């Protein structure tokens, strides 16, 4: 039986509320309403049920807390400060200011105690599904002695309206991710007004249909009811849980239950009335009663004890299972075998060749044998993406040791789950789909780059060369958009030989995502005794085939299946006495990260004549071509036809590359 709530709890709850009021007023920006309504639920969770250790925020077996309703960030910042995390009151006073640890929406890696970046609605709860998957993977591999924690989420109406939450929560119910617990802020208000303007479904019935355990608390200020519901959710061991809490946005203010308090600070007059309602001193601002702080800081000692108990269990585990614990540490640190490169497949020269997706499939299986924490799957396209881990088993309810994810036709949910797994730790996850469907997962793809997490995105069917499915499935602008994302690394191998090195880059980028882009159609595998080693991929671009005499007049730059056209054009130009260098440029981002000396060695500034050959828009290539550059690219949508026919009819021929080279020379 939990101890009764007392005055200290009431003061702590009201402190959270009024800190949000003062911080948003001082910033003249922010969302005070949500923290004011959900402070009771957050306090009950953090002070009584959340397994956390404020003195060690990265403790491996802590519960994860995700504020999916990221606009209510002051709720999280107030909790972190009050519970003894490294977030000072001064930082709360600098809410939303340049360089502060309290940005407008929570940011992973920026503020201690923030587990994931949230803000775009739906992303937090969908990422939390990945956290829960990661926890189940690690628990299945190493046992509950080392891994046994929950992922808690506070989500808003907006989170549950966004499509990504439907995708991810449907998957969570199917997988029976019982360690996932959601508290739903059912306040009936969104920016435009009452949610009934656009939202009338019974959310709990929907979640019940997903296979979730559902609970309801009818009054967000009923601490005993909250405590009981959270305790029940905490012990549910068969299904994920959601608690709908009927709250009141802006509780205690003159704007209670008014949409105006969602996204704007309270006026000075409304703040005075609000503080009078809570019998709170008008001055000083950011007032914290000692009794409230003392109650919240109980988490520090409780956390130390829980962590100490875990440490004792860990020490016993280490003695009984030294090899297994070593594997546990290797998974958390993402330690790759020193000789991994030697274990990757080598693809012999072959004029007919392989589709690079097939080479990727062979590489995935080689990696899986050497890296036990390497998991992956696809959005219902495993056969097409070649993403199956042979003998890996299906990751499903009852078998969390399975290494093959089946995300279903849920690209967006898949991408968010990948982010959650890599944030959780202990897993290097990948997920596959067609390149065209990057747009279906763009928000989560973008957040992976913003956070700097090792999500690996596998994209196949990379161009008009994929053929008959037509322009709806033929990406044209997608590569440019992906490359434009800060922190990106997009790799489009030009033959099977480049594929293992593309994967090696992805595995070594521990603090950033990677997009691997592969062909549907077979393309020639170059004879590396005649061409430069495929390891040049590691530097993004390299001289694949040198001009005769080593002094090029023109440089032909290609990626993917179009690289072969550059090689054929080089031969044709040579017959005409024009010396051409062929550069393979699978990753412009990796190349841009090299030294100026290396870049100039591959693309000498003295050689002004350059041609880019890629079955996509030319956008983004001009940096590398200069004013005389020419393009054999695509400035329109594709067409339905066999891949080779579509490529030919849309201008991707050796003859057009030769023509562009001559035009660039004339320029």
Sign of the alpha-carbon torsion through 317, 318, 320, 321: positive
Would you call 647 helix, strand, or coil by DSSP?
Answer: helix
Phi, psi of 510 (to 5 degrees): -75, -20
HSE-CB of 634 using CA atoms within 13 angstroms: 27
Q: Report the C-alpha gap between 188 and 194 in whole angstroms.
A: 6
Q: Report the C-alpha gap between 242 and 568 in whole angstroms.
A: 60
Find the helix or strand (DSSP H, E) in which 141 lies: helix 123-142
How far apart, in Å, do the first and last CA atoms of the chain sit? Answer: 83
* Rounded to 5°, angle at Cα 176 from 171 and 177: 85
Return mean pLDDT, the chain. Answer: 97
Contact between 83 and 16 under an 8 Å Cβ cutoff? The reply is no
Phi, psi of 410 (to 5 degrees): -145, 65
The stretch 500-506 carries a mean pLDDT of 98
Contact between 453 and 483 under an 8 Å Cβ cutoff? The reply is no
Phi, psi of 505 (to 5 degrees): -60, -45
Q: Is the pLDDT of residue 520 over 60?
A: yes
Token pair 């435009």 is at which residue?
A: 192
Residue-range domains of the chain with CATH: 25-304 (3.40.50.970), 340-524 (3.40.50.970), 539-666 (3.40.50.920)
Give the residue from 122, 181, 176, 123 showing the smallest Cα distance to 151: 181
pLDDT at 367: 98
Contact between 251 and 37 under an 8 Å Cβ cutoff? The reply is yes
Give the residue from 340, 345, 397, 415 showing the smallest Cα distance to 374: 340
Mind listing the pLDDT tens digit for each residue in 112-129? 999 999 999 999 999 999
* Cα 187 from chain centroid (whole Å): 28
Token pair 């009811």 is at which residue?
A: 225
The stretch 493-505 carries a mean pLDDT of 98
HSE-CB of 637 using CA atoms within 13 angstroms: 9
Who contacts 574 (Cβ-Cβ below 8 Å, separation ≥6)? 548, 580
Mind listing the pLDDT tens digit for each residue in 300-317? 999 999 999 999 999 999
Who contacts 514 (Cβ-Cβ below 8 Å, separation ≥6)? 454, 456, 457, 489, 491, 505, 506
Q: Report the C-alpha gap between 377 and 359 in whole angstroms.
A: 16
Cis ω on the peptide bond leading into residue 284 (within 30° of 0)?
yes
Give the residue from 453, 459, 526 showing the smallest Cα distance to 492: 459
Contact between 647 and 657 under an 8 Å Cβ cutoff? The reply is no
The stretch 57-78 carries a mean pLDDT of 98
Give the residue from 601, 630, 621, 471 showing the smallest Cα distance to 536: 601
Quick one: pLDDT band at residue 43, thresholds 50, 70, 90?
very high
Find the helix or strand (DSSP H, E) in which 22 lies: helix 7-27
Q: Is the pLDDT of residue 429 over 80?
A: yes
pLDDT at 427: 98
Q: Please state, in angstroms and as integers, the Cα–Cα distance from residue 442 to each residue in 34, 120, 182, 242, 367, following that order.
A: 27, 12, 24, 27, 27
Contact between 157 and 186 under an 8 Å Cβ cutoff? The reply is yes
Q: Is the pLDDT of residue 168 over 60?
A: yes
Mind listing the pLDDT tens digit for each residue in 457-466? 999 999 999 9
Convert 55-73 into a string of H (helix), E (strand) and C (coil): CCCCCCCCCEEEECCHHHH
pLDDT at 134: 98
Tell me the percentage of the chain whose pLDDT exceeds 90. 99
Give the residue from 551, 484, 538 showing the smallest Cα distance to 509: 538
pLDDT at 76: 98
The stretch 197-218 carries a mean pLDDT of 98
pLDDT at 77: 98
| Active site residues per annotation | 411
Mind listing the pLDDT tens digit for each residue in 544-565? 999 998 899 999 999 999 999 9
Q: Is the pLDDT of residue 360 over 70?
A: yes
For residue 192 the two structure tokens come to 């435009």
pLDDT at 2: 73
Token pair 């309290």 is at which residue?
A: 102
Would you call 515 helix, strand, or coil by DSSP?
Answer: strand
The strand pair at 350-355 and 522-525 is best described as antiparallel
The stretch 158-187 carries a mean pLDDT of 98
pLDDT at 550: 85
Q: Is the pLDDT of residue 385 over 80?
A: yes
pLDDT at 521: 97
pLDDT at 549: 85
* Cα 18 from chain centroid (whole Å): 33
Burial 460-479 (b: 16+ CB within 10 A, else e): bbbbbbbbeeeeebbbbebb
pLDDT at 663: 97
pLDDT at 150: 98
Instruction: For residue 336, give the DSSP letter.
Output: P
Instruction: For residue 1, give the DSSP letter.
Output: -
């Amino acid at each position: 039986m939990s101890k009764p709530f007392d005055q200290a709890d009431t003061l702590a709850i009201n402190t959270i509320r009024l800190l949000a009021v003062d911080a948003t007023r001082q910033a003249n920006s922010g969302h005070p309403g949500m923290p004011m309504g959900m402070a009771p639920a957050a306090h009950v969770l953090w002070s009584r049920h959340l397994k956390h250790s404020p003195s060690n925020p990265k403790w491996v077996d802590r519960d994860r807390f995700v504020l999916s309703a990221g606009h209510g960030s002051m709720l999280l910042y107030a909790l972190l400060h009050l519970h003894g995390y490294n977030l000072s009151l001064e930082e709360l006073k600098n809410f939303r200011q340049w360089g502060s640890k309290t940005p407008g929406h929570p940011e992973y890696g920026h503020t201690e105690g923030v587990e994931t970046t949230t803000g775009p609605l739906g992303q937090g709860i969908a990422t939390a599904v990945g956290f829960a998957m990661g926890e189940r993977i690690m628990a299945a591999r190493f046992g509950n002695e080392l891994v046994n924690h929950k992922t808690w989420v506070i989500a808003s109406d907006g989170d549950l309206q966004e499509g990504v939450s439907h995708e991810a929560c449907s998957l969570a119910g199917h997988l029976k991710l019982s360690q996932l617990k959601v508290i739903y802020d059912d306040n009936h208000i969104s920016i435009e007004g009452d949610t009934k303007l656009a939202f009338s479904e019974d959310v709990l019935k929907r979640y019940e249909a997903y296979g979730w355990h559902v609970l309801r608390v009818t009054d967000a200020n009923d601490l005993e009811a909250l405590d009981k519901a959270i305790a029940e959710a905490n012990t549910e061991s068969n299904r994920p849980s959601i608690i709908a809490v009927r709250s009141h946005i802006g509780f205690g203010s003159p704007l209670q239950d008014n949409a105006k308090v969602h996204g704007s600070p309270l006026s000075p007059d409304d703040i005075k009335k609000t503080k009078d309602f809570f019998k709170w001193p008008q001055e000083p601002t950011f007032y914290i009663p000692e009794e409230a702080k003392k109650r919240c800081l109980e988490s520090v000692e409780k956390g130390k004890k829980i962590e100490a108990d875990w440490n004792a269990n860990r020490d016993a585990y280490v003695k009984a299972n030294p090899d297994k614990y070593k594997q546990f540490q290797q998974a958390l640190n993402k330690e790759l075998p020193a000789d991994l490169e030697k274990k990757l497949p080598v693809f012999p020269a072959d004029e007919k060749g392989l589709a690079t997706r097939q080479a990727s499939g062979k590489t995935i299986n080689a990696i899986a044998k050497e890296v036990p924490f390497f998991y992956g799957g696809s959005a219902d396209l495993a056969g097409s993406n070649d993403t199956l881990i042979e003998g890996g088993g299906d990751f499903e309810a009852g078998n969390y040791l399975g290494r093959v994810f089946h995300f279903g036709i849920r690209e967006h949910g898949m991408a968010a789950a990948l982010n959650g797994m890599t944030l959780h730790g202990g897993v290097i996850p990948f997920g596959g789909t067609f390149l065209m469907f990057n747009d279906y997962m763009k928000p989560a793809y973008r957040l992976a780059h913003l956070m700097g997490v090792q999500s690996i995105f596998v994209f196949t069917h990379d161009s008009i060369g994929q053929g008959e499915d037509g322009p709806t499935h033929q990406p044209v602008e997608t590569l440019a958009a992906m490359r434009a994302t800060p922190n990106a690394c997009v790799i489009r191998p030009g033959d099977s030989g480049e594929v293992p090195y593309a994967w090696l880059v992805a595995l070594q980028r521990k603090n950033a995502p990677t997009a691997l882009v592969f062909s549907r159609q077979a393309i020639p595998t170059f004879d590396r005794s005649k061409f430069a080693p495929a390891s040049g991929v590691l530097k993004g671009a390299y001289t694949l085939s040198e001009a005769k005499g080593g002094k090029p007049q023109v440089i032909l730059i290609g990626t993917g299946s179009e690289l072969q056209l550059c090689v054929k054009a080089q031969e044709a130009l040579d017959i005409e006495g024009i010396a051409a260098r062929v550069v393979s440029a699978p990753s412009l981002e990796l190349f841009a990260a090299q030294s100026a000396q290396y870049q100039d060695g591959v693309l000498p500034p003295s050689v002004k004549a350059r041609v880019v050959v890629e079955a996509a828009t030319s956008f983004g290539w001009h940096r590398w071509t200069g004013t005389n550059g020419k393009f054999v690219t695509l400035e329109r949508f594709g067409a339905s036809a066999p891949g080779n026919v579509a490529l030919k009819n849309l201008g991707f021929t050796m003859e057009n590359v030769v023509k562009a080279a001559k035009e660039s020379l004339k320029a």
